[in-house]
Structure 1
Amino acid sequence: MVQPFIFKFGGASIKDSTSLIRIVDILKSRWKNGLVIVVSAAGDTTDHLEEIIQRAIDNLGFSEQLSQLEDFHLNLCRPLFEEGHSIFQQVSNEFTKLKRTLDNEKKQEGNAYFYDQVIGYGELISTRILQELLCQNGHYCVWQDARELIATDSNYKMAKVDWVLTMQRCRKHLADKLETFPVVTQGFIGSDWQGTTTTLGREGSDFTAAILAVSLGAKSVTIWKDVAGILNGDPDLFPDAVKFKYLDFEEAAEMTYFGAKVIHPKTIKPLAKQRIPLYVKSFIDPESSGTVIGNFKDDPKIPITVIRKNQVLASFRIKDLSKVGGFHFEELFNLGKKLNWNVHLTQGSAVTVKMVIDRPDQVSNVLPKSILEIFHVEWEEELTLVTIRNYLPTQEKIYESKAEKIYLAQKSPHTLQLVLSMKTTGKSTVS
């Protein structure tokens, strides 16, 4: 079997017809058998589909929104294809199926199930358009439904991959095709053992690229972004941010765990295990070097700053002092799992456990009685979590001088984390 190369293009790279032409130009000099092209939904399609899904759940009309989304995709095609090209009928057919799904799928199966049956249409439509455009330009390739490849459980909206079955499916459906033609497929979606559509979590197309790379024994993965590569800070916040030429898997994994948004957090681990290099390159300047992530234990230890806003500091102080020493981490982490909290930092003492989480909706109204019987609970809202890898002493002093208050600080030899407020925050006591 030919050793594949995996290319992934996100929504920003296919937001308009000019961007689609740019993809064709990028692929022109990189066209080869064994190429697998993973594509996200075009532009803000997923956001619009989420709005339509919510309107359907709330029994509100969504015809206008659906019509606008169809017009957006047809307008993508008009500068690229002659009138009467089959792509226009293909797009219309997909929207007919989408409307039927919105009208007929069983909402009583749950909102997460309903979400997964609808949301993947963005990827299905965008890949139809790109595949037809590539073929029209002499780059003949095969369209592949990713649901035939990515096998998952039935945990809708956040499905877990069945790696063994996925490998079997990939070799069954792709091995022969890749000997002859490149393949265009979708990110984000898969299917469970019943063939029902599932999704891998928001922004999961990067993860799809990694799954296919591991399953096919790929030579490399390249993710095409609207940035020059991986920077050591958000350029909107740090104008002097530095681009990494290369980065070790471990360092990249730390960045994604702490909240850096360049790469989906689940992408790094499977590639690191199989030692498959990951390239992050600019689709705006495709000839620039970008960043390569791999086994580089000697990578430069440049300070990396990740900032998460709108955080909540939850403090759980034990009521019964006879239980001091039983930190009850298990109860609290089970609570976080049950309520789908994203916990980014924890700190424990003899009587108190503190957790930093993304702000959940109606956070003070969801705690079960069993937790309130054990703990006094307090929330500090609208906080900022600053994480600095390979920090310098001067950086801690800079944030201390800018913060109105530092609520929590935690440091190791390589990582500094500060939970702080840059303005007055409200404090509400639950119990």
Structure 2
Amino acid sequence: MRVFKFGGASVKDAEGIKNVYDVLQKVGYEDVLLVVSAMGKTTNALEVVIKDYFDKSSALQSSVQEVKKYHNQILLDLFEDDSNAVFTAVKAQFSDLDYFLAHNKSPNYDFVYDQVVSYGELISTTILAHFMNHMDIKTQWIDVRNFIKTDSNYRDATVDWDLTHKNISKNVKRKTLNITQGFLGSDENNFTTTLGREGSDYTAAIFAYCLNADSVTIWKDVPGVMNADPRYFENASLLNQISYREAIELAFYGATVIHPKTLQPLQRKEIPLYVKSFINPLLKGTSVSRGVNLEPYLPCFIVKRNQLLISLSSIDFSFIMEENISEIFSLFHEFKLKVNLIQNTAISFSVCVEDKFYNFNELNAILSKKFKVDYSQNVTLYTIRHFNDSAAQTVENGKKVILKQISTETMQIVTSEN
């Protein structure tokens, strides 16, 4: 079997749904399992619903209505006759959402989050499956929550691989087009869970592993994986081939290529992963598989903006020792600051971090009791894999370099704008 993953951008409207049909006509759909995300920005819209729910906002009904209106317009654009069964199916799913919002008793934000956002994927796959049937492609719609079983760590659930493997290997029909949801699973009580960052890609990898699939293809609005983000770098080039190891290295430094947890099950069975264009589906795209690390061999640029550079030094000029570093990292973990670069000398310790949850001020008050703390806000961290002098110059031109770190394969540069 082949596993295809279509993200929200590929199914954001009626034309996107029709384009998925066109892609399948060109590349084939027998023995294919589609993993599909919520349509467009639906997850963001449902996050507004959740916020209004917890705020007990009078805007709750309005924010729910916006989600309904968006999907209803797509239905009207796809199906001429509103008596089509898909209208009833989608209405029933929205009724389930309304019932949950009216009757839920749990105050647990993460639990509520997973129950609510899941409707994005459930509704998108329902619409897609009905459209494929309407176009005479027979499909099997799969509720992924009956297949991928997890623990109850809502919003970042851990997969029960043994039970999941048993469910998928026994119950997925071959010789047909299977359509299921990305990002979702369920716990032992059958409450919905979500799989965390890049969860839909991970879903595709889980199914591929359990089905011993021939390949996984992630369909995007770009020709494949580029060596740099075209928004920040001119003349970004397509990478034809990336090894599993290199893809994990790139992801570690912050590239949005593929999340490591997606690659790990594929690497174990050496299932190739392709990143291809849903606009030009017959182009080769990028292959992530066993083989050469990188082809063509080019510097790869990763940019992380809005970083915080923190430098700690001993108040009494004593050494920064293992126990100090252990304490510092424990605090970073407690305050949810993600560390992206580390550099230390005998009496100082510098880190470049993301303060995603705006906890630094509170952390700084604690650190300042034991260390001299200097920091620079809104710096940019550039990571260059397979760097050369020209690549470094590209990054450094017109910027103030405030920290640089070099290893055999990788250069990291922290800059502030002049």
TM-score, normalised to structure 1, is 0.91
Partner of 1:113: 111
Q: Shift of residue 134 of structure 1? A: 0.8
C-alpha distance in 2, partners of 1:385/1:22? Answer: 37
Kept in 1: contact 2:315–2:371 (CA 8 A): yes
Kept in 2: contact 1:116–1:197 (CA 8 A): yes
Q: Shift of residue 242 of structure 1? A: 0.6
Partner of 2:74: 76
Kept in 2: contact 1:320–1:374 (CA 8 A): no
Please give the secondary structure, in 1, of the residue aligned with 2:322.
coil
C-alpha distance in 2, partners of 1:144/1:329? Answer: 48
Q: 1:371 to 1:153 in 2, by over 3 A?
A: farther
Q: Shift of residue 332 of structure 1? A: 2.8
Partner of 2:84: 85
C-alpha distance in 2, partners of 1:239/1:74? Answer: 40
2:187 is aligned with 1:188: no
C-alpha distance in 2, partners of 1:169/1:93? Answer: 26
Q: Which segment drifts farther, 272-281 or 333-342?
A: 333-342
- Consecutive unaligned residues in structure 1, runs of 5 or more: 424-431
Partner of 1:381: 377
Q: 1:102 to 1:378 in 2, by over 3 A?
A: farther
2:293 is aligned with 1:293: no
Q: Which segment drifts farther, 140-149 or 328-337?
A: 328-337
Partner of 1:100: 99
Partner of 2:17: 20
Partner of 1:428: none
Q: Which segment drifts farther, 190-199 or 18-27?
A: 190-199
C-alpha distance in 1, partners of 2:46/2:61? Answer: 12
Q: Shift of residue 371 of structure 1? A: 4.7
Q: Deviations over 1:216-261 (max 9, x none)?
A: 2111000000000011111122231110111111121122222222
Q: Shift of residue 270 of structure 1? A: 2.1
Q: 1:316 to 1:105 in 2, by over 3 A?
A: farther
Please give the secondary structure, in 1, of the residue aligned with 2:307.
strand
Partner of 1:350: 346
Equivalent pairs, count = 415
Kept in 2: contact 1:152–1:161 (CA 8 A): yes
1:7 to 4, 8, 33: 4
Matches within 5 A, 1:324-403: 324-326=320-322, 328-367=324-363, 371-403=367-399
C-alpha distance in 2, partners of 1:143/1:315? Answer: 53
Identity across matched positions, percent: 38
Partner of 2:194: 199
2:406 is aligned with 1:422: no
Q: Deviations over 1:143-174 (max 9, x none)?
A: 11111122222221111222222212212332
Q: Shift of residue 341 of structure 1? A: 2.5
Matches within 5 A, 1:303-342: 303-319=299-315, 324-326=320-322, 328-342=324-338
Please give the secondary structure, in 2, of the residue aligned with 1:184.
strand
Q: Deviations over 1:383-411 (max 9, x none)?
A: 101011111112223433321x3222111
Kept in 2: contact 1:106–1:114 (CA 8 A): no
Please give the secondary structure, in 1, of the residue aligned with 2:331.
helix
Q: Shift of residue 137 of structure 1? A: 1.0
What residue identity is the alignment partner of 1:181?
Answer: T
Q: 1:71 to 1:303 in 2, by over 3 A?
A: same
Q: 1:298 to 1:188 in 2, by over 3 A?
A: closer
Please give the secondary structure, in 1, of the residue aligned with 2:411.
strand
Please give the secondary structure, in 2, of the residue aligned with 1:362.
coil
2:84 is aligned with 1:60: no
Partner of 2:136: 138
Partner of 2:127: 129
- Consecutive unaligned residues in structure 2, runs of 5 or more: none
Kept in 2: contact 1:312–1:357 (CA 8 A): yes
Q: Which segment drifts farther, 228-237 or 197-206?
A: 197-206
C-alpha distance in 1, partners of 2:374/2:302? Answer: 26
C-alpha distance in 2, partners of 1:173/1:368? Answer: 53
C-alpha distance in 1, partners of 2:31/2:338? Answer: 38
C-alpha distance in 2, partners of 1:329/1:195? Answer: 42
2:277 to 278, 282, 288: 282
Please give the secondary structure, in 2, of the residue aligned with 1:242.
coil
Q: Shift of residue 326 of structure 1? A: 2.6
Q: Which segment drifts farther, 367-376 or 230-239?
A: 367-376
Q: Deviations over 1:178-229 (max 9, x none)?
A: 2x42210000111122222111114321111111111221110000000000
Q: Shift of residue 359 of structure 1? A: 2.7
Q: Deviations over 1:90-143 (max 9, x none)?
A: 1111111112222322342x2111111111110000000001111111111111
Q: Shift of residue 339 of structure 1? A: 2.7
C-alpha distance in 1, partners of 2:105/2:374? Answer: 40
C-alpha distance in 2, partners of 1:163/1:196? Answer: 18
RMSD: 2.0
C-alpha distance in 2, partners of 1:349/1:270? Answer: 38
C-alpha distance in 2, partners of 1:377/1:200? Answer: 36
C-alpha distance in 2, partners of 1:368/1:355? Answer: 13
Q: Shift of residue 413 of structure 1? A: 1.7
TM-score, normalised to structure 2, is 0.94
Kept in 1: contact 2:336–2:355 (CA 8 A): no
C-alpha distance in 2, partners of 1:302/1:321? Answer: 43
C-alpha distance in 1, partners of 2:325/2:207? Answer: 36
C-alpha distance in 2, partners of 1:318/1:149? Answer: 53
Q: 1:341 to 1:173 in 2, by over 3 A?
A: farther
Please give the secondary structure, in 2, of the residue aligned with 1:385.
strand
C-alpha distance in 1, partners of 2:265/2:314? Answer: 39
